[in-house]
Chain A
Amino acid sequence: MNFKKKMFGWMDMLRFKKLVPNRRAEFDKAPATKIPDTYKVNSIAKILHPGNQKATLTGIATETSDTKTYTFSLERKMFFRAGQYVELTAEIDGAVVSRPYAISSSPYKALREKELSVTVKKAGFFSNWLFDNAKVGDEMIIGDPSGFFHYEAIKDEKTVVGIAGGSGITPFYSMAQAIKEGSEDFNLILIYGAKTEKDIAFKDRLDALASGKIKVVYVLSDEKNDKYEHGFITKEIIKKYAPEKYTVMACGPQAMYAFLDKELAAMGIGGKRVKKEANCVGVRDVKKAVYTLTVHIRDEVYTVKADNRETVLVAMERAGLRVPSKCRAGGCGFCHSKLVSGKFSIAGADKRRLADLKFGYIHPCCSYPDSDMELIVPAGLE
């Protein structure tokens, strides 16, 4: 063929020769104004994903005998979906320790007043330290709002039946405030199980939030009281309060999920209609053995001991290594590490990506060591 656009081929060829001078000329014409160091969309992204930031403890409130709310003043604005959690990091006896906690304050509070609260149940190393040592004025670090335990307008029904067990009430308390302030828009029927009346957290505030969109039902397992439902959260109780169409969101201990799963199955409810918040991986019940972990972080190599009843992540943290963690439930993948050698078992379902299995990557937060192991781990918090 003989391609021709202009009358003569040489004219098309000449045009080709001008590509370079044309581009130079465009450069010449441009202004020499300073290149920005940020952009509008990036600035909004920084509010949605502010990254790790300094947070000053401004208040500690006792909710129940074993639950406290810690309120922080943030350095930077934050906006999140009610129901999400943050990772809280503190320096404890020279070691940097982090845990995920559900946010108990409202999204607009964090956006407009840079204020964020987490509600913590006294249950382990970090929470014990918080209960015994944390005081107003302390500085800690708060990470990005995370997790997918929030309302999803596109797929969820207009009404959410929230099933809360014990401190599992926290994300729902944030959701209730969010509905009230207008940052979330759905109907919430909250069925909240606690042991006794005095174990109910946020009661006066939840009652005050009750409206056409929010209803709270309390269910006490260990106390008979005419004001409340009694027993476990059964299908009968759910049916009594739920409308015809609804989505179930549940947050509570593993035992509650086991019971709830049966009740929901009996009602024929599952799949897309049920969302459960994951719990942190704990210790496993096996005969104790101690293994050696060889850990590569950047160009450093560390050798640490690992108790096989605890996760690989905990072993690294106990040794004082700064390693990444976030959900501590195997799901977020933030601790994604390359396994060079060794055997391990995963707590619960394997939530890794397919290619991770193929190339030998593990999530240390949900993996228990079954032998000596060698790992390449990303650097943790600076």
Chain B
Amino acid sequence: MKKYDAVVIGAGNGGLVAAIRLLQGGAKTLLVEKHNLPGGFATSFRRGRFEFEASLHELNDFGAADNAGDVRVLFDELGVTDKIEWLQIPEAYRVISREEKIDATMPFGVKEFIDKMESYVPGSRESMEKFFELAEEIRAAQSYSNSSNGKTDTKVMKTKYANFVKCGSYSVNEVLDALKMPKRAKDILNAYWCYLGAHCDDLSFVHYASMVLRYITRGAAMPKSRSHEISLAMVERIRELGGDVWFNTEAVEIKTEKIVAESGEQEENQQKYRVTGVVLNNGEVIETRHVIANCSPHIVYGKMIDNVDERIVKEINARKLAGRGFTMFLGLNKSADELGITNHNYFLYDTMDTVRQYEVMKRIDTNCVQATVCLNRAYPECSPPGTCMMYFTTLYMSDDWAKVKPEDYFRVKDKVASMMIERFEKDTGCRIRDSIEEISVATPMTYARYCGHPEGCIYGYESQYWDGLMPRLLMMAEDHKTRGLRFAGGFSMRLSGYSSAYFSGDITGRQTVGDIKREG
């Protein structure tokens, strides 16, 4: 029987980083991926003369070499930064919201952002300055927490990071109201909410503020050859470090056995079972005591493990699946200039009342919300001269797609694609429909098929009030319910998004290296 110190299931963003961390920690590591490509959502695909980015809008917290964000620091440590050619995104975003008649284009840079906000919303400066000051303290507290591996000193937290602790249990709106931010400034500032997929009454302020701060202070980056370049660079690195990567290889079962407690041994987290191996789709059994699953606990505990404790079942049932994904990719036979597409990154909303907006996003026939990117505005040469590429993403906050009958599926897909185009044209005044040379549409069904996520959700478990970033980080040890099984990726402790998934792989990879050292 083949034996590895650790097996990583899934070569998504979390799994790739976890595998590198394991190898750097000296563990003999096998990474298995059911597809023929690495990256999960971090990939690209060709249609005609276009190569589309599958999912990445902009990489948060990367920054430039002289203003490195935490992701760049992580990539440096992993040894992959220089394998990738990077571009900087020119501006933060343009948000258009119908109800409030907002059309605001926001720059990167804290000073620039605050000045621009003041020009749109006179009198917003003081609250905006407070927002960034608070966000900066949150960043510092997170960095302290990371450096102490989550084992923070309460005294230090209460004295040095008191504001962080005091705002740490509140939602975005609760804190912005406490900062007395004018409503219109709040509306413009909240534009990024769809990146985290929970409305601002639910979404943790700490989570949101930390993300906004990282965007605004460090800018955003993009690999030149799409996210496929990052994924291949990571595979390259894994092989350089002596790791094995097997594609078209699905892990179908994680074998576990009951832990027999030795006398006097205190079982951490009431763990009842421990990992003994992984069964692959060709029937092969790999012996290992450590698995990092870069997939949803729903799938792992729903069909990959026999021994599932009732507590685990309850915990999984308690959680809420976050947004179900939809993306339309367009290759246009005119340039962005010709079409009048002036911005890289558009957020189009019906309203900035995120609670009501969230409701509208529950239904196929009402949801036109979109985060739309024209990649040529960051990288003009990404498509042939005289053309440009766009991708339009939305989330569905319910299982409306589950009601679509198979025979209606292609029609519904076209209808939604058409709605998205119409909304973009009406809100921006750009005419794009007649210039579509290539179109590809991914629905929740596509995502369900590609990554196996339940109901085609792409954002992991929703950042609900009780299940946000802070409690998940505080309960990392307690959430480790099966010994030797840890999770990385969008369903895990850092929640979804590229940067978060990379960090989750970093955390779980390093934790597993520690487990191996302790337990063998």
Contact = CB atoms under 8 A, between A and B. Distances in A.
A239 interface: no
A44 B313 contact: no
A223 interface: no
A361 interface: yes
A42 B448 contact: yes
A270 B227 CA distance: 31
A3 B298 contact: no
Contacts of B147: none
B175 interface: yes
A378 B229 contact: no
Interface stretch (A32-40, A206-214, A305-313): A32-40
Given A35-B316, A39-B454, A356-B232, A154 B439 contact: yes
A41 B456 contact: yes
A31 B314 contact: yes
Given A36-B302, A42-B448, A4 B166 contact: yes
B261 interface: no
Nearest to A351: B46
Interface string B272-296: 0000000001100000000000000
Contacts of B163: 1-3
Contacts of A324: 36, 248
B271 interface: no
A111 interface: yes
A20 B478 CA distance: 10
A355 B230 CA distance: 9
B491 to A, nearest CB: 13
Interface stretch (B188-196, B468-476, B498-506, B508-516): B468-476
Of B165, B233, B282, B401, most A-chain CB atoms within 10 Å:
B165
A3 B315 contact: no
A334 B333 CA distance: 28
Interface string B43-64: 0111100010000000000000
A13 interface: yes
A354 B382 CA distance: 10
B315 A30 contact: yes
Contact of A336 (B37, B133, B168, B175): B37
A40 B314 contact: no
B6 interface: no
Interface stretch (A45-53, A63-71, A225-233, A258-266): A45-53
A336 B43 CA distance: 13
Given A22-B466, A27-B314, A355-B232, A48 B449 contact: yes
Contacts of B162: 2-3, 9, 13
A46 B449 CA distance: 7
B169 A15 contact: yes
A103 to B, nearest CB: 15
Nearest to A13: B165
A36 B418 CA distance: 34
B236 interface: yes
A183 B233 CA distance: 42
Helix, strand, loop or mixed for chain A's interface? loop
Given A32-B313, A81-B410, A154 B417 contact: yes
Interface string A149-165: 00011110000000000
A272 B332 CA distance: 9
Interface string B323-351: 01000000001000000000000000000
A4 B228 contact: no
B449 A13 contact: no
Given A42-B455, A155-B436, A23 B166 contact: no
Given A45-B449, A353-B44, A5 B36 contact: no
B87 to A, nearest CB: 13
Nearest to B177: A5
A341 B256 CA distance: 41
A354 B235 CA distance: 16
B138 to A, nearest CB: 10
A353 B169 contact: no
B166 A12 contact: yes
B301 interface: yes
Nearest to A22: B466
Nearest to A14: B169
B207 interface: no
B70 interface: no
User: B166, B174, B247, B281 — which one has the most chain A CB atoms within 10 A of its CB?
Assistant: B166
B452 interface: yes
A41 B36 contact: no
B414 A153 contact: yes
Contact of A379 (B248, B399, B402, B418): B248
B167 interface: yes
Contacts of B317: 30-33, 35
A94 B165 CA distance: 67
Interface string A76-87: 010101000000
A364 to B, nearest CB: 12
B407 A111 contact: yes
B409 A44 contact: yes
A183 B169 contact: no
A35 B167 contact: no
B106 interface: no
A18 B465 CA distance: 12
B401 A41 contact: yes
Interface in A347-373: 351-356, 358-359, 361
B228 A148 contact: no
B168 A358 contact: no
A183 B410 CA distance: 9
Interface in B192-206: none
Nearest to B52: A353
B437 to A, nearest CB: 4
A132 interface: no
A9 B36 CA distance: 54
A22 B314 CA distance: 15
A332 B363 CA distance: 33
Nearest to A349: B49
B244 interface: yes
A380 interface: yes
Contacts of A41: 324, 399, 401-402, 444-445, 448, 454-456
Interface string B420-464: 010000000000010011110000111011001011100000000
A26 B402 contact: no
A1 B133 contact: yes
B68 interface: no
A13 B316 contact: no
A154 B421 contact: yes
A34 B305 CA distance: 13
A225 to B, nearest CB: 38
A353 B46 contact: yes
Interface in B8-56: 36-37, 44-47, 51
A72 interface: no
A272 B406 contact: no
30 contacts: A5-B174, A5-B175, A12-B166, A16-B168, A19-B466, A22-B471, A23-B466, A23-B467, A23-B472, A27-B314, A28-B314, A31-B317, A32-B313, A36-B298, A37-B302, A41-B448, A45-B448, A48-B406, A48-B445, A77-B406, A79-B406, A79-B407, A155-B439, A183-B407, A352-B46, A354-B51, A354-B225, A355-B223, A359-B233, A382-B281
**Across the A-B interface, the 6 shortest Cβ-Cβ residue pairs:** A40-B402, A30-B318, A378-B247, A12-B166, A354-B225, A35-B302
Given A41-B399, A333-B46, A378-B246, 6 more contacts: A3-B166, A16-B166, A79-B407, A351-B46, A355-B225, A379-B282
